């Protein structure tokens, strides 16, 4: 279940004499996933990695040659992404920026950096961007983020049309565009529509892409926008046990059938899809306990390191990596051929990563390893709760 390189790296960590709690990443896995998606798509499509999924510098560097750019949501992500794909000659840096509450300092940094598109969330944000750009003597490229009234596509998609802090409600788009086109510091280049999430249906996702393009073309024509940019967000799903993986080849075949006007770039912002399977979270078993007939595997770690299974109710497969250098002069507790609940080190019952899962054998001192931990793992965790050391992050 564990790749040999990952197993070797984790066993090396056990020799240090301190309890192990670490993420191990393989940048080559992420790079291959990006190559597969990029190869399947037509020339008018661009793959921009959503840095929020995994901001470890080694992963960003591994992906940089195989993606067209990056999506960022903070100054720190911008500082990480901008040098990864340098440009010359006044060309916009291949970065798009998102977020529902961009502060003036964040917007200022984005304008000064010369990003390819700021996905504007509101009329007030458009005014702020214009004021900053005029002060800097430039015009900022913006795409209006839209909350569509509905998306007439079946499949595993999160539809629009519900109240949200994200974007401009579709009925308000014409009025917002009229004002945006009058603002002196803006170059309105298109639209951002991020209405899909964790979609495993390639045909539905291709239909969603088609709908986003057709809606954008029509809305641009109706409102006098020189359309050059359509950002459909991320939303490609990650398959867990019993689920059918997203069919990249089929998605690419159907995407090639979409009629995209000349000069229009269609941006996809995958994050989790590119990096989920490039990471493993490993934590040392500090104890194996019995309580009223139930076995608990207690880890050096938990939701302060890996919160995703608890927050998203994901049932991960786990691997138990045996560690034989037990040095304590006492009984070594174990659970064998039974069901266990895997918990962490925090003083709360919320710190439960897995419930009622079968293990062949797990002992104090072994490592419990979670696959598919390359996205929303370290970045999503509650690092400061109780003040335990944060998990290490390492590359194989």
pLDDT of residue 283: 98
* Residue with the larger pLDDT of the pair 315 and 54: 54
Q: Enter the pTM of the model.
A: 0.95
Q: pLDDT at position 156, please?
A: 67
229 shares a domain with 112? yes
| Statement: residue 258 has pLDDT above 70 | yes
pLDDT at residue 396 above 90?
yes
* Same-domain check for residues 134 and 255: yes
CATH number at residue 177: 3.20.20.10
Encode 49-83: b = buried (16+ Cβ within 10 Å), e = exposed.
bbbbbbbbebbbebbbebbbbbbbbbeebbebbbe
- Residue 161 reports pLDDT greater than 80: no
Query: CA–CA separation, 160 vs 157, rounded Å?
Result: 9
> What's the chain's average pLDDT?
95
| pLDDT tens digits along 354-390 | 999 999 999 999 999 999 999 999 999 999 888 999 9
Last residue of a domain, one of 243, 275, 307: 275
Q: What percent of the chain has pLDDT over 70?
A: 99
Separation between Cα atoms, residue 129 and residue 211, nearest integer Å: 28
Q: DSSP labels for 235-275?
A: -B----TT-PPP-HHHHHHHHTTS---TT-EEEE--SHHHH
| Residues 245 and 285 placed together within one structural domain of the fold | no
Range 112-132 average pLDDT: 98
Residues 321 and 204 in one domain: no
Per-residue pLDDT tens over the stretch 299-319: 999 999 999 888 888 877 899
The verdict on 217 and 339 lying in the same domain is: no
Work out how many domains the chain is built from and give that number: 2
Pairing mode of beta strands 168-169, 186-192: unpaired
138 & 242 share domain: yes
Name the band, by pLDDT with cuts 50, 70 and 90, for residue 157: low
Of 210, 243, 275, the position where a domain reaches its end is: 275
Q: 324 lies in which domain range?
A: 4-24+277-395
pLDDT score for 223: 98
Are both 194 and 304 inside the same structural domain?
A: no
Task: Please write the tens of the pLDDT for every residue from 282-304.
Answer: 999 999 999 999 999 999 999 99
Mean pLDDT of the region 341-360: 95
Query: Do 71 and 8 share a domain, yes or no?
Result: no
The answer to whether residues 281 and 271 belong to one domain is no
Indicate if 355 and 308 belong to the same structural domain.
yes
Which CATH number is 10's domain given? 2.40.37.10
Q: Are residues 19 and 85 in the same domain?
A: no
Same domain, 156 and 254: yes
From 357, 384, 373, 388, select the one nearest 286 (Cα to Cα).
388
Last residue in a domain, options 258, 275, 292: 275
């Amino acid at each position: 279940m564990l790749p040999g390189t990952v197993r070797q790296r984790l066993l090396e960590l056990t020799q240090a004499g301190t309890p192990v709690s670490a993420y191990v990443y393989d940048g080559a896995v992420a790079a291959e996933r990006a190559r597969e998606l990029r190869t399947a798509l037509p020339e008018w499509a661009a793959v921009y990695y959503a840095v929020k999924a995994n901001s470890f510098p080694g992963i960003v560097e591994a992906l940089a040659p195989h993606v067209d750019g990056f999506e960022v949501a903070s100054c720190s992500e911008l500082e990480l992404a901008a040098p990864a794909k340098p440009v010359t000659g006044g060309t916009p840096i291949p970065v798009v920026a998102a977020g529902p509450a961009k502060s003036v300092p964040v917007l200022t940094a984005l304008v000064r950096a010369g990003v390819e598109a700021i996905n504007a969330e509101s009329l007030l944000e458009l005014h702020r961007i214009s004021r900053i750009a005029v002060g800097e003597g430039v015009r900022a490229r913006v795409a209006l983020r839209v909350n569509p009234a509905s998306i007439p596509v079946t499949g595993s998609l999160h539809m629009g049309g519900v109240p949200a802090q994200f974007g401009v409600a579709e009925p308000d788009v014409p009025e917002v565009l009229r004002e945006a086109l009058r603002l002196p510091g803006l170059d309105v280049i298109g639209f951002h529509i991020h209405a899909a999430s964790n979609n495993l249906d390639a045909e539905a996702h291709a239909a969603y892409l088609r709908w986003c393009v057709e809606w954008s073309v029509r809305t641009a024509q109706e409102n006098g926008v020189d359309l050059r940019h359509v950002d459909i967000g991320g939303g490609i799903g990650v398959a867990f046990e019993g689920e059918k993986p997203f069919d990249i080849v089929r998605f690419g075949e159907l995407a090639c059938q979409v009629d995209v006007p000349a000069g229009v770039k269609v941006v996809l912002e995958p994050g989790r899809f590119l990096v989920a399977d490039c990471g493993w979270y490993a934590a040392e078993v500090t104890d194996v306990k019995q309580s009223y007939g139930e076995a608990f595997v207690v880890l050096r770690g938990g939701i302060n390191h890996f919160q995703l299974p608890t927050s998203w109710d994901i049932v991960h497969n786990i691997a138990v990596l045996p560690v034989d250098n037990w040095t304590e002069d006492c009984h070594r507790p174990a659970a064998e051929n039974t069901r266990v609940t895997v918990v962490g080190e925090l003083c709360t019952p919320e710190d439960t990563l897995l419930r009622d899962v079968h293990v062949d054998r797990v002992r104090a001192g072994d490592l419990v390893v979670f696959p598919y931990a390359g996205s929303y793992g370290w970045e999503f965790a509650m690092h400061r709760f109780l003040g335990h050391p944060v998990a290490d992050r390492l590359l194989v």
